[in-house]
């Protein structure tokens, strides 16, 4: 199939473009390169276009498109709290522009990049798809709004969609020349690796008084290539299923910040310096996914479930990043 990957120069988008190409699909990337990397676009042409400039989107549909995968979004929780207009504009209005362009060009299938942030502070663990949606920041709210729009579009226009709610994406495909590179970097695993490499500012551990095994936050880390594989599964699923569907994607095991630091220390064989810092506003104590639905319905089974495997692949990339 010919897949238009919006946001394909970014972290999860580029790994999905790589995985799609490996499965024999033809890929075109649409990206405005505001946070993505030109060097991460390696499996098809890049169309530089902006979802907020609808007239720029037609070029992406000049070649027939069988499905869209939509990763293009702003994704920093703190920034979303400080500037909600920007988040709703880019993530919601931008998505509507993309959906309108798809409708205009009669493209009826989309996989949407969603997040655990739609659940807010979880009332129970593990979090399954039916857990109440109460996002606590504009980033999570913007993603939930797009999920709602896709559900309405299924009824109104017959649009087929799959929303994939990632828990904590981590790892890299260094062998393919792609990995995680954000500016600024706010994510835990890359920050630990930078600390191990003596790069960046000192690693801070946000909060040590959460009701968890060691007082630090617990997250469900899932390999970015396993997430990418779920997109290929979602594409196959949409061949035979109409309507709007959603799946939570994680390994189902939670690791604390201190456990993640220990995993890096053990893989890299170097000490990791860190200091304790106050809680980061908006961080839930623990997020762990139930991915039973994805396993049962999509036939998804993550291949790199072990935190040390995930960290090792991220380390391969961070030692010699291509961008």
Q: Which of 108, 115, 251, 290 binds ligand UFG (CB under 6 A)?
A: 115
Binding of residue 110 to ligand UFG (CB under 6 A): no
CB of 63 to ligand UFG, least distance (A): 31
Binding of residue 262 to ligand UFG (CB under 6 A): no
> Which residue is listed with tokens 């790069």?
199
Binding of residue 75 to ligand UFG (CB under 6 A): yes
DSSP element (H, E) containing 267: helix 257-268
Spatial CB neighbours of 8, under 8 Å, sequence gap ≥ 6 = 14, 16, 17, 27, 29, 30, 31, 36, 40, 41, 44, 46, 69, 71
Catalytic: 85? Answer: no
Q: Which of 73, 188, 230, 298 binds ligand UFG (CB under 6 A)?
A: 188
CB of 256 to ligand UFG, least distance (A): 9
Spatial CB neighbours of 198, under 8 Å, sequence gap ≥ 6 = none
Q: How far is 75 from 181, CA to CA, in rounded Å?
A: 13
CB of 187 to ligand UFG, least distance (A): 4
Q: How far is 256 from 244, CA to CA, in rounded Å?
A: 33
Q: Which of 102, 173, 257, 314 binds ligand UFG (CB under 6 A)?
A: 257
Helical pair 224-240 and 11-22, crossing angle rounded to 10 deg? 60
Binding of residue 168 to ligand UFG (CB under 6 A): yes
CB of 221 to ligand UFG, least distance (A): 9
Residues forming the active site: 139
> Which parts of this chain interact with ligand UFG (CB under 6 A)?
75, 77, 115-117, 139, 168, 186-188, 191, 203-206, 217, 219, 257, 280, 283-284
């Amino acid at each position: 199939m010919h897949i238009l990957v919006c946001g394909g120069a970014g972290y999860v988008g580029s790994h999905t473009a790589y995985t799609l190409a490996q499965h024999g699909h033809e890929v075109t990337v649409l990206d405005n390169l505001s946070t993505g990397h030109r060097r991460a676009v390696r499996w098809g042409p890049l169309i530089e276009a902006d979802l907020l400039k609808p007239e720029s989107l037609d070029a992406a549909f000049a070649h027939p498109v069988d499905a869209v995968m939509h990763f293009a979004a702003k994704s920093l929780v703190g920034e979303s709290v400080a500037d909600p207009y920007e988040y709703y504009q880019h993530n919601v209005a931008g998505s509507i522009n993309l959906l309108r362009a798809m409708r205009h060009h009669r493209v009826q299938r989309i996989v949407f990049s969603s997040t655990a942030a739609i659940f807010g502070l979880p009332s129970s663990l593990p979090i399954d798809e039916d857990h109440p949606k109460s996002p606590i920041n504009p980033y999570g709210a913007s993603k939930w709004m797009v999920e709602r729009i896709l559900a309405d579009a299924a009824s109104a226009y017959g649009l087929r969609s799959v929303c994939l709610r990632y828990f904590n994406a981590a790892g890299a495909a260094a062998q393919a020349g792609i990995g995680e590179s954000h500016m600024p970097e706010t994510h835990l695993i890359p920050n630990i690796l930078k600390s191990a490499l003596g790069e960046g500012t000192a690693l801070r551990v946000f909060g040590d008084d959460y009701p968890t095994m060691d007082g630090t936050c617990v997250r469900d880390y899932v390999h970015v290539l396993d997430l990418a594989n779920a997109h290929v599964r979602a594409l196959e699923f949409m061949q035979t299923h109409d309507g709007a569907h959603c799946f939570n994607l994680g390994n189902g095991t939670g690791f604390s910040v201190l456990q993640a630091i220990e995993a890096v220390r053990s893989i890299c064989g170097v000490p990791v310096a860190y200091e304790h810092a106050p809680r980061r506003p908006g961080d839930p104590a623990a997020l762990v996914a139930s991915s039973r639905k994805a396993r049962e319905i999509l036939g998804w089974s993550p291949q790199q479930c072990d935190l040390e495997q995930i960290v090792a692949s991220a380390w391969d990339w961070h030692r010699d990043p291509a961008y």
